[in-house]
Amino acid sequence: MSTTGNQEITDIKQDVNDIERTNTEVEQPKTEVVLENPDKLKDINAVISFLYKEFSVCFKEKDGIKPLKVGIFKDIAQKIEDNDNVSKTQIRQALRKYTSHWRYLEAVSKVEFRIDLDGNDCEKVEQEHIEHALKALEESRAKFAKRKKQQRPRNDTAKKSFKSGSRNKSGDKGTKPAVVKPNNENAPRRAGKIIALTAEQIKLNAKVKVKLGQTLVNGTITEINKDDIHVVIVTGMLVKTKAESLYTI
């Protein structure tokens, strides 16, 4: 083989080695690992405890509870702007739970003024808010009593069934059990039809019902910002929602 041929073979081998080395050195895609913040609050009760600690003059667990300022969520959101341990969504959920407690509802019906984060008196509690608090308190207590009654031990029911069965066996075989007619007066009434608001009805100071989860709560539209609608519900909490969650009263 000629010298030129040997040189060509050597050059080809060198090119192959260069290509293999280049492929090996190509940077592999990096997978970014995002570590979860271990200190982030995960439970709503923990978020409420956070509010007790951070804003102790405003949020109370038992004694000294007062109605919160309308729009207090915005004030809290500004305070926690740089806090990675709690989110605005968690704060909103915690506020809903806090303002539905019996002690808080009682405070709305009894205390004259609302307070800000520093514990200072703000606006007076409106009569509509007082009436709603009393109604919500009554309904909540009634539901609690009903659940408690349903959770009683079933032993009483079993004993009554056993005694009733014994009496039936000792009685006349030809006796027919009495037919109990349903009491229509105690039958649940069908709820009224829920009508969504039209575009013309969505305006400032309009009285509406806003859907929170599975519940409709009375409120007043205070701000309209494109698709976002701000509503102050009767507990005094400010809620940001969409038009499809608003209904007529």
Same domain, 203 and 132: no
Residue 11, in any domain of the structure: no
Residue 23, in any domain of the structure: no
Range of the domain at 238: 199-247
Structural domain total, the chain: 2
Which residue bears the tokens 């027919």? 176
Residue 178, in any domain of the structure: no
Last residue of a domain, which of 118, 142, 166? 142
Residue 6, in any domain of the structure: no
Q: Which tens digit of pLDDT belongs to each residue from 13-67? A: 566 566 556 555 545 555 454 455 666 887 899 999 999 999 999 999 988 999 9
Give the phi and the psi of residue 224 in degrees, each rounded to 5: -125, 115
Last residue of a domain, which of 142, 167, 185? 142
The enclosing domain of 238 has a CATH number of: 2.30.30.140
The enclosing domain of 122 has a CATH number of: 1.10.1710.10
Same domain, 55 and 132: yes
Residue 130, in any domain of the structure: yes
Residue 193, in any domain of the structure: no
Examine the pLDDT at 170 and tell me if it is beyond 70.
Answer: no
Lowest mean pLDDT among 86-100, 176-190, 221-235: 176-190
Same domain, 210 and 133: no
Lowest mean pLDDT among 174-178, 216-220, 242-246: 174-178
Residue 46 falls in which region: left (phi positive, over 0), alpha (psi -120 to 50) or beta: alpha
CA 141, CA 102: separation in Å to the nearest integer?
Answer: 8
Closest CA to 168 of 160, 159, 177, 155: 177
Closest CA to 94 of 146, 50, 54: 50
pTM: 0.57
Residue 87, in any domain of the structure: yes
Same domain, 137 and 219: no
Question: What pLDDT score was predicted for residue 76?
Answer: 95
Residue 64, in any domain of the structure: yes
Token output for 240: 């940001």
Predicted confidence band of residue 74 (pLDDT cuts 50, 70, 90):
very high
State the SS3 of the chain: CCHHHHHHHHHHHHHHHHHHHHHHHCCCCCCCCCCCCCCCCCCHHHHHHHHHHHCCCCCCCCCCCCCECCCHHHHHHHHCCCCCCCCHHHHHHHHHHHCCCHHHHHHHHHCCEEECCCCCEEEECCHHHHHHHHHHHHHHHHHHHHHHHHCCCCHHHHHHHHHHHHHHHHCCCCCCCCCCCCCHHHCCCCCCCCCECCHHHCCCCCEEEEEECCEEEEEEEEEEECCEEEEEECCCCEEEECHHHEECC
